[in-house]
Amino acid sequence: MKSKDPAKHTHARGSCECRKGITRRGFMTRLGVGAAGVAASGALFPQTAAAKEMEMIKAGDMAKITLRVNGREHTLLAEPRWTLLYVIREKLGLTGSKIGCERGECGACTVLIDNIPRYACMTLAVEARGAEITTVEGLMEGEDLGPVQQAFLEEDAFQCGYCTPGQVVAAEGHLRADPDPTDDEVLRGMSGNLCRCGAYPHIFKAVRSAAEKRRRGKGGEG
């Protein structure tokens, strides 16, 4: 990444450097795994002519990648098949993002990639280079809870708490995109995150109250 503010970075077609190092087709034919993952998250990095020309990585090779997570850069060696979730949890030690299914069904692994909630289990680490990644840990304000987290705590929007970091991050992403959602938008926005404990009514309340808190916070003095 050169100069750009990652949050505003758009991955312009054909010119974006995020895709250096691996092509989607090359990756799929060489490894024959993770096809669904790449397809589902392919929108992140659409295949382009420029991307095709880039160097290939063999299955067993480690790629040196730099990930920007919660505002810090981490450079590490990663196998092309490693998911972003695996790297975040096991290599960076950020275990707030959880593993529920590793197949894009539950949302326990939800992180923000350039402000958009995404399943980190369906995103390869190599794909996430150059993007601004935010995990639940990144929503903290030092040792203090962020507004969405605070709302979840106050409304008791969880039971076992295992889906909770994913719910919190999903809510944060939706509120960043739309600070004042309708009830229906909240439900739709949160429907990609399963809660087996069934804390949905409280989650719903928490997201509404978080929207309120964020709006007040943004307004300065409140």
Residue 94 binding partner per list another protein, ligand FES, none, with a CB distance cut-off of 5 to 8 Å that depends on partner kind: another protein
The residue among 138, 148, 196 whose CA lies nearest residue 170 is 148
Stretch that binds ligand FES, among 128-136, 138-146, 176-184, 190-198 (CB under 6 A): 190-198
Residue of 149, 174, 175, 181 interacting with another protein (CB under 8 A): 149
> What is the C-alpha to C-alpha distance for residues 91 and 10, in angstroms, rounded to an integer?
27
Q: Which helix (H) or strand (E) holds 192?
A: none
Residue 210 binding partner per list another protein, ligand FES, none, with a CB distance cut-off of 5 to 8 Å that depends on partner kind: none
Q: Tokens 């992403």 — which residue?
A: 173
> What is the C-alpha to C-alpha distance for residues 69 and 132, in angstroms, rounded to an integer?
6
Let me know how long the chain is. 222
Q: At what angle do helices 164-177 and 147-154 cross, to 10 degrees?
A: 130
Residue 119 binding partner per list ligand FES, another protein, none, with a CB distance cut-off of 5 to 8 Å that depends on partner kind: ligand FES
- Asked whether the beta carbons of 38 and 121 are under 8 A apart, the reply is no
Question: How distant is the alpha carbon of residue 182 from its chain centre?
Answer: 23
Least distance (Å) between residue 219 CB and ligand FES: 31
Tokens (6 digits) for 27 = 């990756």
Interaction of residue 196 with ligand FES, rule CB under 6 A: yes
Least distance (Å) between residue 122 CB and ligand FES: 6
Residue of 55, 90, 105, 141 interacting with ligand FES (CB under 6 A): 105
Stretch that binds ligand FES, among 4-12, 46-54, 93-101, 176-184 (CB under 6 A): 93-101
Interaction of residue 159 with another protein, rule CB under 8 A: yes
Task: Decide whether 9 or 204 has the Cβ nearer to ligand FES.
Answer: 204
> What is the C-alpha to C-alpha distance for residues 194 and 48, in angstroms, rounded to an integer?
34
Least distance (Å) between residue 193 CB and ligand FES: 8
**CB proximity list for 210: less than 8 A, separation 6 or greater:** 147, 148, 150, 151, 152, 171, 172, 175
Residue of 51, 112, 121, 211 interacting with ligand FES (CB under 6 A): 121
CB 112: neighbour CB atoms within 10 A? 24
Chain residues that interact with ligand FES, rule: CB under 6 A: 99-102, 104-109, 119, 121, 158-164, 195-197, 199
